[in-house]
Amino acid sequence: MLQGPYSSLDRDRPLIRLPFTDFAVVTVLLPLVGFIGCLFISLMYHFEDSTYTHCQVSNYLPSISAAISLIPERYIWRCCIGLHSAPRYLVTAAYFSFYRRRFAKRLPELLLSGLALLCSLAENTGLLLLTYVASTETYSVHKYGFIVFIVSSLLHMLITCRLWHVIRKHYVNPEEITSYRWKSRLFVFNVSCCLVAAYFFRRHNKYCETGVYTLFAFFEYLVVFSNMAFHMTAFWDFGSKEVIVATPPEDKRY
């Protein structure tokens, strides 16, 4: 029997098959490596420009906005976030599908799942906005992108912790219990760092004290790192799953 260049067996074989754990690690490493790289370059080569503030007092760390707004830092960060954004949207859809199955008969949690979906989409979109519109280009747009990112991120983490609290009460999977505990810890830590960062930011603008903006920048870093770690808990949530790209069988095409 003659066969063409692609047999039915070849056609049905997955084109890409990747463990979700590897997928999650790569997705989180992209912004992590990008940010550390931008911070290093800013401190080594653009220290004065990246640490300058309107108060003109001594400052030792750049804010995130300053660290990603100079060149070449701007392009490094945009490249990493551009590659990171598509997988993040895919993970958002995966979580919504996961919640729909778990809470098919629980209307309150199903509604919260939809709200979590919207918050996650807003968080990712806000991140893209503040990334591709630098503070040195259009400050107001960058600022609103940052606000959307922070607010939607906190709401998403809060709703996610609530949903996983319900999951923990009705299921005994060890990975899911571990995931819930780390989500809760990281959410509390993230909120605490947000409040401390806001305090130092306000104090810097009001009193222009030496080193206060450095403390703001440090806690801003912790906000971002804890946000990344929170999303990394997908490692436990989908540990046994795989990301597959495959051709659908012919008899399922309509």
* Dihedral angle sign, alpha carbons of residues 18, 22, 28, 33: negative
**240 vs 253, which has greater pLDDT?**
240
* % of the chain at pLDDT higher than 90: 59
- Which band of pLDDT confidence, cut at 50, 70 and 90, is reported for residue 171? low
Question: In the prediction, which pLDDT does 12 show?
Answer: 62
**Residue 181 confidence (pLDDT) above 70:** yes
- Inter-residue contact 21 to 239 (CB < 8 Å): yes
* % of the chain at pLDDT higher than 70: 92
At residue 243, what are phi and psi to the nearest 5 degrees?
-95, 120
- Inter-residue contact 27 to 232 (CB < 8 Å): no
- To the nearest 10°, the Cα dihedral for 188, 193, 195, 197? -170
| Residue among 201, 187, 194, 195 at smallest CA distance from 156 | 187
User: Using one digit for the tens of pLDDT, what is the confidence trace for 82-111?
Assistant: 999 999 999 999 999 999 998 888 888 999
The token pair that represents 154 in the structure block: 């906190």
**Residue 4 confidence (pLDDT) above 70:** no
User: Using one digit for the tens of pLDDT, what is the confidence trace for 132-153?
Assistant: 988 777 888 888 999 999 999 9
**Residue 6 confidence (pLDDT) above 90:** no
211: left (phi over 0), alpha (psi -120 to 50) or beta: left
- Inter-residue contact 57 to 28 (CB < 8 Å): no
Q: What is the mean predicted confidence (pLDDT) over 31-50?
A: 94
- Inter-residue contact 31 to 228 (CB < 8 Å): yes
The CA distance from 55 to 95, in Å, is 44
Question: In the prediction, which pLDDT does 254 show?
Answer: 43
Question: In the prediction, which pLDDT does 10 show?
Answer: 56
Question: In the prediction, which pLDDT does 40 show?
Answer: 96
